[in-house]
Amino acid sequence: KGMTLIMAALAGANYIHNAAGMLESTTTVAYEQYVIDNEIIGMAMRALQGIEVNEETLALKVIDKVGPGGNYLAETHTVKHMRSELFFPKVSDRSLREEWISKGGKDARERAKEIAKNILAWHKPLPIPSDIDKKIISKIKGLIKF
């Protein structure tokens, strides 16, 4: 699924039918899968942004200072840019195994289920503004209003 999404995104598609939440060739839908697929789509979108390359991001001064075999993770520059370059997942867990187990050892499906339940319980989407709603309705021929 991830490769399908990234290849479509790299080809320039901005909409992929049945991309999220679908299982079993679209015969099944699952809230957990929507959450997992949203994370996969987020990773694909992050990959499409590319990596900014300029004097600041190349960090030649840091490379000269730290040198081969040095600890770049201890450098402020690395931490600053690492945070802006990485994708931080909500479903995947990057913890060490011991830490993951101490936090309950939840797998991706369990975390996705919790996230989905939270969204369903608390998310209140804003309505479409009435002027935009009227424009949309006016463009749909044969629309039956209730």
pLDDT digits (tens, 9 = 90+) for 13-44: 877 766 788 888 888 899 999 999 999 988 98
Decide: 66 and 75 in contact? Cβ < 8 Å. yes
Q: Which residues pair with 23 in a beta bridge?
A: 28
| Summary count for the chain: helices (H), strands (E) | 8, 2
Element holding 24 (H helix, E strand): none
Q: Whole-angstrom Cα distance, residue 134 to residue 143?
A: 12
- What confidence category does residue 146 fall into, taking pLDDT thresholds of 50, 70 and 90? confident
